[in-house]
């Protein structure tokens, strides 16, 4: 549940909510910004149904916090206070480390997660960590076994495999190879392999897979490569534009093995666009596969997107 939503529909059938969230400063204090100020969005949710997400998205701040013991001590105190004061049942650490910082961060991330989770559990609250779904494929700086030992839940972000600054492709392909329009696509990695990689080091009852209910719209040049970074669109926005016939769709298909939807259309300036996106249908296929592998916990990014 991101801080920018207007509220919760009483008919929304979810077992629990992750409030996204609050931000730490480089000194370890909780920043008084919009996420903190809008925490009343989850005030009416029972304690057992809500957890707080610590948004560590600023690489400069993250690098300091991973090393500064004094700031870490302050953060531990502040986080315990926020969780208790606002009746959250647990904490989710969203530590998004870019490639530029990954070289020596594995040990620092492990120590940081161990420290935070140990402190949170002293108050009988749970502690989880968000992990990039492409952790193995892109050699992310995670000691997955150690993180799994420290955390109660490891949440895999099964989205953003194809980046907005890169070539068009599925949010996270179900299978590595897909066939469409007579061509063979090899994505290099897939959802099935991700699950195989994670279950080799983390107990299945600690694994939770997060689906991104959105997509990217790439504008293509005459050479067939992206003209600029893709635009993010929520699933609701994509479906609304399809219903309103805003897209002059030249091709709409569900590529066989990726399981996600692919739309191609031409805009008013004559430029070709390619959209890939996750929806309820593709998420259901992946969920069924997870259940066949003994994994039963899933989440969705994000409330209001679909």
Structural domains of the chain, ranges and CATH numbers in brackets: 17-213+279-301 (3.20.20.80)
Q: How confident is the model at residue 184 (pLDDT cuts 50, 70, 90)?
A: low
Q: Which of 38-42, 192-196, 251-255 has the lowest mean pLDDT?
A: 251-255
pLDDT band at 227 (very low <50, low <70, confident <90, very high): very high
- CA–CA separation, 35 vs 58, rounded Å? 15
What pTM was computed for the model?
A: 0.94
Count of positions (residues) in the chain:
306
Q: Which pLDDT does position 253 carry in this prediction?
A: 65
Look over the chain and give the mean of its residue pLDDT values, rounded to a whole number: 92
**With bands split at pLDDT 50, 70 and 90, how would you rate the model's confidence at 156?**
very high
The pLDDT of residue 278 is 96
The angle at the Cα of 38, spanning 279 to 78, to the nearest 5 degrees, equals 110
Q: Taking 60 as the threshold, does the pLDDT of residue 27 lie above it? A: yes
The answer to whether the beta carbons of residues 156 and 198 sit under 8 Å apart is yes
Task: Inform me whether the pLDDT recorded for 179 exceeds 60.
Answer: no
- Which range is least confidently modeled, 176-185, 254-263, 292-301? 176-185
Q: How large a percentage of the chain has pLDDT more than 90?
A: 82
pLDDT the model gives residue 104: 75
For residues 234 and 179, the answer to whether their CB atoms sit within 8 Å is no
CB 269 within 8 A of CB 277: no
- Mean pLDDT of the 257-281 span: 92
Phi and psi of 154, rounded to 5°? Answer: -115, 115
């Amino acid at each position: 549940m991101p801080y920018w939503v207007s509220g919760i529909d009483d008919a929304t059938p979810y077992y629990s909510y992750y409030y996204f969230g609050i931000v730490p400063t480089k000194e370890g204090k909780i920043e008084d910004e919009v996420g903190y100020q809008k925490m009343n969005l989850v005030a009416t949710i029972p304690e057992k149904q809500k957890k707080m997400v610590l948004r560590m998205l600023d690489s400069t701040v993250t690098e300091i916090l991973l090393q500064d013991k004094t700031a870490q001590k302050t953060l531990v105190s502040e986080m315990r206070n926020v969780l208790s004061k606002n009746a959250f049942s647990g904490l989710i650490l969203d530590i998004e480390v870019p490639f530029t910082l990954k070289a020596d961060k594995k040990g620092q991330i492990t120590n940081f997660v161990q420290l935070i989770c140990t402190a949170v559990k002293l108050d009988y609250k749970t502690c989880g960590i968000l992990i990039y779904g492409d952790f193995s494929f892109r050699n992310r700086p995670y000691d997955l076994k150690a993180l799994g030992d420290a955390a109660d839940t490891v949440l895999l972000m099964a989205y953003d495999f194809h980046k907005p600054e890169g070539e068009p492709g599925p949010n996270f392909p179900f299978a590595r190879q897909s066939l469409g329009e007579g061509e063979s696509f090899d994505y290099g990695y897939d959802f099935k392999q991700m699950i195989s990689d994670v279950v080799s080091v983390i107990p299945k009852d600690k694994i939770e897979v997060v689906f991104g209910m959105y997509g990217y719209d790439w504008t293509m040049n005459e050479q067939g490569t992206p003209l600029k970074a893709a635009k993010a669109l929520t699933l609701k926005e994509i479906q609304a534009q399809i219903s309103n016939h805003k897209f002059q769709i030249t091709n709409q298909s569900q590529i066989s093995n990726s399981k996600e939807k692919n739309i191609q259309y031409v805009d008013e300036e004559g430029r070709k666009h390619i959209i890939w996106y996750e929806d309820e249908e593709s998420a259901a296929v992946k969920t069924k596969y997870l259940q066949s592998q003994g994994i039963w916990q899933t989440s969705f990014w994000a409330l209001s997107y679909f």
